[in-house]
Amino acid sequence: MKTECTADRMEFHGLGRRVVVGRFDGGRISSDGGGLLLREVEQRTQILKRLAVCFTDYRDAGQVEHSVESLIKQRMMGLALGYEDLNDHDRLCHDPLLAVLSDKRDVLGKRRKRDQDKGCALAGKSTLNRLELTSRDADAGSRYKKIVADPRGMDDPSTPAQTVGGRLTARRRSLGGSVKETARRLGVDEGAWASWEAGRDHAWAVPSG
């Protein structure tokens, strides 16, 4: 039986001027190559990028080397790859692949400000700890923990007005239309619109008629 040949490299979204490829000829090796597929998903959906907007960063911008967005990507990608413990990141901060997944341009940490940080592209456990455990009443005057989750930027599924269906209902009522009238104006099925408001189906529907 003839053996089928496989490609010797796989190309992914680039990072700045860098080309991101998967190859099988040795060099720096990682067992977390599947993370590149997660990065492809993030490149298309921007879920983590949008999540980063839901935080207020009171740190001194001139001293910041790890943006909130990169911290969130580092933590979430780490979790997805099975690294649940923050202590893991004191080792993972040297991992160039995780640096790529976190969209760090300096993947080898050669341009870090402090000499003791060079070679470590990512944040360690202490910085990530501040991201996760800062209280909501922290501000610029807080000593260490200054990255605050902003509940105003996050949807609370327990609050109807904050769900997709709740927003559709509120908007329809503000315009003074019934479900039937709104569906007719938009050219969609009345039952589909009712389902959207009830939160049962967010998929688009075939126009009625």
For 139, the token pair is 């501000």
Task: Establish if 172 belongs to a structural domain.
Answer: yes
Same domain, 88 and 143: yes
For 143, the token pair is 């000593």
Same domain, 118 and 31: yes
Residue type, 136: R
Name the more confident of 53 and 167.
Answer: 53
Q: Is the pLDDT of residue 33 over 60?
A: yes
Q: In this predicted structure, what is the pLDDT of residue 204?
A: 45
Q: In this predicted structure, what is the pLDDT of residue 158?
A: 47
What does the DSSP 8-state code read for residue 4? Answer: P
Radius of gyration, CA atoms only, the chain:
23
Task: Establish if 205 belongs to a structural domain.
Answer: no
Question: What mean pLDDT, rounded, does the chain reach?
Answer: 80
What pTM did the predictor assign? 0.61
Name the more confident of 154 and 51.
Answer: 51
Q: Which helix (H) or strand (E) holds 72?
A: helix 68-80
Please say whether the beta carbons of 36 and 22 come within 8 A: yes
- How many C-beta atoms surround the C-beta of residue 86 within 10 A? 18
Task: Establish if 209 belongs to a structural domain.
Answer: no
Does residue 164 sit in helix, strand or coil?
helix
- How many C-beta atoms surround the C-beta of residue 158 within 10 A? 7
Q: Is the pLDDT of residue 59 over 90?
A: no
Instruction: State how far the Cα of 105 lies from the Cα of 75, in Å rounded to an integer.
Output: 17
> Region 32-37: what's the mean pLDDT?
88
DSSP characters over 30-53: -S-TTHHHHHHHHHHH-HHHHHHT
Express each pLDDT in 7-28 by its tens digit.
Answer: 678 889 988 888 888 877 766 6
Same domain, 98 and 193: no
Same domain, 175 and 73: no
Task: Establish if 1 belongs to a structural domain.
Answer: no
Name the more confident of 154 and 77.
Answer: 77
Task: Establish if 190 belongs to a structural domain.
Answer: yes
Instruction: State how far the Cα of 95 lies from the Cα of 120, in Å rounded to an integer.
Output: 8
Total domain count, the chain: 2
Same domain, 32 and 82: yes
Instruction: State how far the Cα of 180 lies from the Cα of 197, in Å rounded to an integer.
Output: 12
Instruction: Give me the sign of the Cα torsion angle 194, 197, 199, 203.
Output: positive
Task: Establish if 89 belongs to a structural domain.
Answer: yes
CA-based max dimension of the chain: 71
Domain span at residue 71 reads: 9-154
Please say whether the beta carbons of 103 and 58 come within 8 A: no
Instruction: State how far the Cα of 170 lies from the Cα of 176, in Å rounded to an integer.
Output: 10
